[in-house]
Structure 1
Amino acid sequence: MALGPRLDLRVGQTLILSPQLQAAIRLLALSNLELAAEIASELERNPILEAVADGEPIPPEAGPAGVATDPATPEPPLAAAPDLIAGPDRPDDGLDIDPAAEFIHHDGPADFATAPDADDGNLIERIGAPEESLLAVLSRQAESALAGRDLAIALAIIGTIDEAGYVTEPLEALAERLGIALGEVERVLRIVQGFEPTGVGARTLGECIALQAAERDRLDPCMAALLQHLDLVASGDLVQLRRVCDVDAEDLADMLRELRTYDPKPGLRIGGGLATPIVPDLFVRRTAKGFTVELNAETLPRLIVNRNYQAEIEAHARCHGSRAERQFLQQCVSQAQWLIRALDQRASTILKVATEIVAQQAAFFEHGISHLRPLTLRAVADATGVHESTVSRVTSNKFLSSERGTFELKFFFSSAVHTSGEDVAIAAVKARLKALIEAEDPLKPLSDDRLVDLLRREGYDLARRTVTKYREAMAIPSSFARRRRAIVRSA
């Protein structure tokens, strides 16, 4: 049988996502802030699409039928916001929206009596300008104190300083890279170590604290010996510390208290940029009938189609325009209508999923984290009638604000831990484990075996390795390390 290339025609059926469906899926995974940026970009591309601030009246030109609305004609009824709890008569795809609806509006906190005070002002106006970075601050000090060759060396040293204020490159490598003597680099480094904040330019933790102690005129031989043996401080070997520092127990206690007043990372006091505030996508309100969920409308502008401007463009295109202009106008109209329907579908799906999550975790909102129930994506998908991947997209990068704080929607999904009664979420077990450790005697900390026994008495059947894994996940040291820290503090 001869082997060789050939061409075959085959007929088959496959599922292909249309570009509009792909865009709708992408919109579903965006947070409110990301969606606002996407809408702003679309407003720049589409000339007939306009945004109306929440609370502003709808302009008369935003009427149906593609022409300006007569002011004497009453406006069409507004598109209703999706129900908080979707019923069986509302399909999951959310495309049962009246195509004539001109805009989308979701009730937000501003529509309720419990809305935030309007005098709070714009969040952007309350946030100050970003601080200078540590690199910029040190470079400015170097330019004012040095010049010529020394300035070039200082800037090279500053370029190796990390955000905590430490030199990250060995001086030997830096001297070789610059082609100068090691002593010259060390001389300029001592100048850089005199810059603010005190302690920057150090190569080790001991040197960083020594610079700060020297500024306070507290770097005596005893303190210098202590800084050279910080490993003994970490291990809590107070007997050896008294020996190497040649001090008694009272003096050592004073030195340890003073040691705690120094900043081990002085560079973090400068720069770092602005912390981005979390803007919740959803609000949970307590009502007489339970908890209700609402979208944050402040980050979602209402969209309308400017029918008046559309009519003017159509009239111009019919008289003077080309076929390409008419096609462009039709494309803009179709894109605007699709975006409005897609946003309404997104809002309906998010509210449906979030409402089911709140209903499943009502005990958490009522009593706290100890009542957090185990929950999976499949359970929410089955209850809401959507696909599991849709629930995953809805809960991605979405935050929910409630009386108990602001949480990512992913927080409410957790595996189950078997107990003598009902299964509980891993987050609830971690919270109980942390509470037991915080209530322990610092000088007699609870070992992992002891924690296992205490948790089993409360009905949590956990293995020792599981308790260790949960403790390490919460960045809690071992019982030996906790006791060592307690000894140093008590000294």
Structure 2
Amino acid sequence: MAFAPRLEIRQSQQLVMTPQLQQAIKLLQMSNMELSEFVLQEIEQNPLLEVVEPHADAPREEPPADAPPADAASAEPAGLDSELREDRLALAEETFDTGLENLYADRSIADSDGPAPGDAGGDWSNVGKGGDSRFEEMGSAVEETLAESANLREHLLAQLGLTRAPGIVKLICADLVEAVDEAGYLRADLEETAHRLGAGAAEVGEALKLLQGFDPTGVGARDLAECLGLQLAERDRLDPAMAKLLQNLELLAKGEQAKLLKLCGVDAEDLADMLAEIRRLEPRPGRPFGGEPSQPVIPDVFVRPDQHGGWTVELNGETLPKLIVNQRYLARISGGEKKGEVKSYIAEKLQTANWLVKSLDQRARTILKVSSEIVRQQDGFFAYGVRELRPLNLKTVAAAVEMHESTISRVTSSKYMGTNRGVFELKYFFTAAIASADGGAAFSAESVRHRIKGMIDAEAQGAPLSDDDLVKALRADGIDIARRTVAKYRESMNIPSSVRRRRLGGVLA
């Protein structure tokens, strides 16, 4: 077959995701904190963007007629103010292509004759844009009022500095402090530490003893038994029977009461007292110091009952930054003849600003639309609780709101709904279906899990319900469920089996 050049016409379809579309998809799946950080970054890069505060449109309160005039030293003649603005604008236009810093400086200087942010009628549009020194002063004042969270490492090193131990022991102890985790446990091998530091085993042991003598009691322990033993020793409660109990904590976890009585050589009453003493101890001595402070979950939408027996869904305006294009500032910098680079820079920033404002508005509308459909589908949950939670999947919501399933997945990711029953992630309302025994409507997996927990919580003391008993009870309520499914749901809630619950009940009785 001979090869020869030829022309062909082909027609095909393909989906091309533009950078704007890709960014819109990222905005849709961002949480409220991630979105706030992204908006702040865009404001720093785009001088045409401006944040509208929730009370920015409130009418300005006029001073009373008999109020004394303002300080004359702070007032400026109108003519001088106009000249200053023209000069500063010209300076900004000359250096426009050097970056955003001059633009921000121009805006903050030009607007500096108005009231300060926080005053009556003050303009907050420049807050957070880097060019207003008043914001920096306000921010530093706020930071000075925040209490710094305690740090376990610094707490231990401060105690180390007050000890009179030999220098080599203090150095080894400082190295061990670096190996203490947030829970307060030592995660270092003593032999490896001695070899690495070129120290003797006796010196490392002395450093470990020094560390374990620090506050909080139990810090520097290498396992749970040692941690509890240090705390009991401080209370003078580490007798031979208690030491034997600490050596067999695995039997305590399994509820092997008979074996514990034999090993410790005590009666049931003494064992109950020993267990009560252990329960008063702290298994994680570093708990008050370790970890970052937890961040509260801020709902993206609120659901409230209305006057007609239904539900009202509204967006949380505090989590949705409202951006606008500063048309006044755009008119100022666009006037007159501009160089090619300056003109293209302005056009690019204007296009980016308009797209971002539109994308944020579309994101808010999408979240509200999907949340409203979830509330409509799960109205029984809001009225009666988890037992009335219905099976729901992404496909059902996507068909109702005429969107793709991937869009629904992005909308419900890291978004929260504030309800009369608490704050829930939107994904919480999507649960699998459990068939009905009588052929009726299916049950939600979450509601079935809630029923199982309620049955176990209400079981009689000393007579725990087995998985077979739970299956019979659920089928009596019309829920067709297998025994292995009940066991899976029980284990997902960290509920032990009936055998272990019976043993634990005997030990803790």
TM-score range, shorter chain: 0.7 to 0.9
* Structure-2 residue corresponding to 1:32: 32
RMSD: 2.5
Q: Distance in 2 between matches of 1:324 and 1:352?
A: 42
Q: Which amino acid aligns with 1:354?
A: S
Q: Distance in 2 between matches of 1:252 and 1:2?
A: 95
Tell whether 2:401 aligns with 1:384. yes
* Structure-2 residue corresponding to 1:214: 233
Residue 7 of structure 1 and its aligned partner are, at CA, apart by 13
Tell whether 2:43 aligns with 1:43. yes
Residue 373 of structure 1 and its aligned partner are, at CA, apart by 0.6
Q: Deviations over 1:405-455 (max 9, x none)?
A: 100000111111001331111000000011111111242211111111111
Q: Distance in 2 between matches of 1:8 and 1:23?
A: 38
Do the aligned partners of residues 255 and 352 (structure 1) sit closer, same or farther apart at CA in structure 2, a change above 3 Å counting?
same
* Structure-1 residue corresponding to 2:312: 292
Tell whether 2:411 aligns with 1:394. yes
* Structure-1 residue corresponding to 2:325: 305
Equivalent in 136, 154, 165 of residue 154 of structure 2: 136
Q: Deviations over 1:311-332 (max 9, x none)?
A: 111125x1xx311101111112
Q: Distance in 2 between matches of 1:336 and 1:261?
A: 59
Q: Distance in 1 between matches of 2:40 and 2:443?
A: 43
Task: Assess if the C-alpha contact under 8 Å between 2:152 and 2:182 holds in 1.
Answer: yes
Q: Which amino acid aligns with 2:411?
A: V
Q: Distance in 2 between matches of 1:139 and 1:336?
A: 50
Do the aligned partners of residues 480 and 128 (structure 1) sit closer, same or farther apart at CA in structure 2, a change above 3 Å counting?
farther
Q: Which amino acid aligns with 2:419?
A: S
The 5 A counterparts of 1:12-411 are 12-57=12-57, 129-145=147-163, 146=165, 148-289=167-308, 290-316=310-336, 318=337, 321-411=338-428
Q: Distance in 2 between matches of 1:191 and 1:408?
A: 47
* Structure-2 residue corresponding to 1:94: none
Task: Assess if the C-alpha contact under 8 Å between 2:299 and 2:417 holds in 1.
Answer: yes
**TM-score computed with the length of structure 2 as normaliser:** 0.78
Q: Distance in 2 between matches of 1:245 and 1:479?
A: 26
Q: Deviations over 1:344-372 (max 9, x none)?
A: 11111111111111000001101100000
Residue 36 of structure 1 and its aligned partner are, at CA, apart by 1.7
Q: Distance in 2 between matches of 1:486 and 1:265?
A: 24
Q: Which amino acid aligns with 2:190?
A: L
* Structure-2 residue corresponding to 1:89: none
After alignment, is 413-422 or 423-432 more displaced? 413-422
**2:499 aligns to what SS in structure 1?**
helix
Do the aligned partners of residues 273 and 7 (structure 1) sit closer, same or farther apart at CA in structure 2, a change above 3 Å counting?
farther
Q: Which amino acid aligns with 1:280?
A: P
Q: Deviations over 1:144-173 (max 9, x none)?
A: 324632122112222222222222233222
Do the aligned partners of residues 297 and 220 (structure 1) sit closer, same or farther apart at CA in structure 2, a change above 3 Å counting?
same
Q: Distance in 2 between matches of 1:414 and 1:432?
A: 15
**1:36 aligns to what SS in structure 2?**
helix
Aligned residues: 421
**2:283 aligns to what SS in structure 1?**
coil
Task: Assess if the C-alpha contact under 8 Å between 2:48 and 2:326 holds in 1.
Answer: yes
Q: Distance in 1 between matches of 2:295 and 2:506?
A: 38
Residue 233 of structure 1 and its aligned partner are, at CA, apart by 2.5
Task: Assess if the C-alpha contact under 8 Å between 2:466 and 2:497 holds in 1.
Answer: yes
5+ residue gaps, structure 1: 61-123
Task: Assess if the C-alpha contact under 8 Å between 1:165 and 1:201 holds in 2.
Answer: yes
**2:21 aligns to what SS in structure 1?**
helix
Equivalent in 461, 464, 468 of residue 483 of structure 2: 464
**1:482 aligns to what SS in structure 2?**
helix
**1:185 aligns to what SS in structure 2?**
helix
**1:267 aligns to what SS in structure 2?**
coil
Task: Assess if the C-alpha contact under 8 Å between 1:131 and 1:272 holds in 2.
Answer: no
**TM-score computed with the length of structure 1 as normaliser:** 0.81
Q: Distance in 2 between matches of 1:133 and 1:24?
A: 40
Q: Which amino acid aligns with 1:360?
A: Q
Q: Distance in 2 between matches of 1:436 and 1:7?
A: 77
After alignment, is 248-257 or 474-483 more displaced? 248-257
Q: Distance in 2 between matches of 1:405 and 1:423?
A: 25
Q: Distance in 2 between matches of 1:26 and 1:58?
A: 33
* Structure-2 residue corresponding to 1:417: 434
Q: Which amino acid aligns with 1:25?
A: I
Q: Distance in 2 between matches of 1:237 and 1:386?
A: 56
Q: Deviations over 1:18-50 (max 9, x none)?
A: 111111111111122222221111111111211
Q: Distance in 2 between matches of 1:368 and 1:130?
A: 40
Runs of 4+ in 1 over 6 A off after TM superposition: 6-10
Residue 10 of structure 1 and its aligned partner are, at CA, apart by 8.1
* Structure-1 residue corresponding to 2:472: 453
Residue 8 of structure 1 and its aligned partner are, at CA, apart by 11
Q: Which amino acid aligns with 1:425?
A: S
Q: Distance in 2 between matches of 1:59 and 1:253?
A: 69
Q: Distance in 1 between matches of 2:249 and 2:19?
A: 62
Q: Which amino acid aligns with 1:437?
A: I
**1:266 aligns to what SS in structure 2?**
coil
After alignment, is 328-337 or 405-414 more displaced? 328-337
Residue 128 of structure 1 and its aligned partner are, at CA, apart by 5.5
Task: Assess if the C-alpha contact under 8 Å between 2:257 and 2:503 holds in 1.
Answer: no
**2:147 aligns to what SS in structure 1?**
coil
Q: Distance in 2 between matches of 1:223 and 1:233?
A: 12
After alignment, is 473-482 or 221-230 more displaced? 221-230
Q: Distance in 2 between matches of 1:49 and 1:147?
A: 62
5+ residue gaps, structure 2: 61-141
